Amino acid sequence: IHESHFLNSLSSLSVDAETLQKQIDELSSFSDSPAPSVTRILYSEKDVLSRRYIKNLMEASGLSVREDAIGNIFGRWTGSEPELAPVSTGSHTDAIPYSGKYDGVVGVLGAIEAINVLKRSSFKPKRSLDVIMFTSEEPTRFGIGCLGSRLLAGSKELAQQLEKTVDGQNVSFFYAAKSAGYMNVEKLSTVFLEKGSYSAFVELHIEQGPILEEEATSIGIVTAIAAPASIKVDFEGTGGHAGAVLMPKRNDAGLAAAELALAVEKHVLESGSIDTVGTVGILELHPGAINSIPSKSHLEIDTRDIDEERRNSVIDKIYESALSISKRRGVKLSEYKIVNQDPPALSDELIIKAAESASQELELTYKKMISRAYHDALFMARVSPMGMIFIPCYKGYSHKPEEFATIDHIADGVKVLALTLAKLSLS
């Protein structure tokens, strides 16, 4: 049936909210930390369980499932014109330690339910529809955010880096992938998507911020995704006995790290914009004994901004501070590694329009906004027109167990996604 007739039968868009909530709860049980927190790390056995769970749901929805060499999972609903570039949607199900059960999951389970909604309303796609579960969006295990979508977007430097990447337990990326069943993982370049593989990519996600809830708005239509960067730093001093070494004789690697963390805050606050953020989420001291002066420290810095230049100038200042701290304190700056320094991404105007008219037709309040969190959409934007649909989440909480979204808001998001995908599929 063509666009106008289908779009007139909007009221037929019905979400099976009860089943969707059950799936969200079931998926959250595949976790290495106690409920209500979720921990689901790339290629862990809990991650493998969640992959099997998602593939089963894709198959139950009549999607034909394939996986690439690193475990990006694709579920396809073949359209009437399969030679046209398909429309895609999706997100991730990996979860950082002690986080919540909605980040990413809403955009995978919700995407599969959006397919079910369209099937129930007798929609017939022209362009095929792909639901993608990206193999790992969080940086937790190998320190690289959006590993799956970065590779899909054709990052050759990442492919080279992964040949020799190991995790905190010295397990190589290749070994970890094989232990999760991805035996062809060494063929990393087979993951790269050809340009034009998709006519559009749309990701449904919780806002991970307080605006939609504060403004009682049902839908966020993302116009741009902020530019993320991460840096790894190591300091080395001579350490020694906490009682015996007098202060003038010390070169304390721990204090160097502490001073750099405060310098990150200073440079971010001095950027001139509220949109610049900086976080030191990892700060490790060695040997980590109360009566031993830290001889080594390792810190990891996350800094972002919607303005790339402003973010880059903060990175330069952080580097200056690391050098001056190491000189002044007589500690060695043994590592200063920019792990990623990504540009922001702009959403595609046509996708923004499609999501906007979908929200209007569904009589849902919506607002255009930026995404301060990064997503797989940030990298899919490199190989396809991109858009994102946000739903409100409780107090904007995310990356912690209190993360929550009501099933009604999730259902609204699924309907807007379904209608947006339908419009893009018929375009």
CB of 93 to ligand HGY, least distance (A): 13
Structural Rg of the chain based on CA atoms: 23
Rounding to the nearest 10 degrees, give the CA dihedral for residues 140, 146, 152, 158.
-60
Q: Write the DSSP assignment of 1-61 as a string of letters.
A: --HHHHHHTGGG----HHHHHHHHHHHHTS-SS-TT-EEE-TTSHHHHHHHHHHHHHHHHT
Nearer to Mn ion, 417 or 426 (CB): 417
Residue 247 CA: distances (Å) to CA of 85, 239, 369: 66, 12, 51
Cis peptide before 343 (omega within 30 of 0): no
Shorter beta-carbon distance to Mn ion: residue 104 or 239: 104
C-beta closer to ligand HGY: residue 226 or 422: 226
Q: With respect to ligand HGY, which residue has the nearer C-beta, 58 or 146?
A: 146
Q: Which residues contact 74 (CB under 8 A, 6 or more apart)?
A: 65, 66, 67, 68, 130, 131, 132
Contacts with ligand HGY in 137-156 (CB under 6 A)? 137-138, 145
Question: Is residue 374 a contact point for ligand HGY (CB under 6 A)?
Answer: yes
Q: In angstroms, what is the minimal distance from the CB of 9 to ligand HGY? A: 36
Binding residues for ligand HGY restricted to 120-139, rule: CB under 6 A: 137-138
Instruction: Please choose which of Mn ion, ligand HGY, none residue 148 contacts, taking the beta carbon within 5 to 8 angstroms, the exact cut-off set by kind.
Output: none
Q: What is the nearest approach in angstroms of Mn ion to the Cβ of residue 105?
A: 9
Please say which residue, 235 or 390, places its beta carbon nearer to ligand HGY: 390
In the complex, least distance from residue 339 CB atom to ligand HGY, rounded to whole angstroms = 13
Residues near Mn ion (CB under 5 A): 103-104, 234, 298, 335
Q: Which does 47 bind (CB under 5 to 8 A by kind): ligand HGY, Mn ion, none?
A: none
**Contact status: 373 vs ligand HGY (CB under 6 A):** yes
**Site for ligand HGY (CB under 6 A): how many residues?**
5
The residue whose two tokens read 């309040």 is: 365
- Can you point out the beta strands (E) in 226-363? 227-236, 277-286, 296-305, 332-341, 345-346
Geometric angle at alpha carbon 423, from 417 and 427, rounded to 5°? 140
Q: Cα–Cα distance between 10 and 31 in angstroms, integer?
A: 37
Q: How far is the CB of 136 from Mn ion (least distance, A)?
A: 11
Q: Which of residues 232-271 bind ligand HGY (CB under 6 A)?
A: none
Footprint of ligand HGY (CB under 6 A): 137-138, 145, 373-374
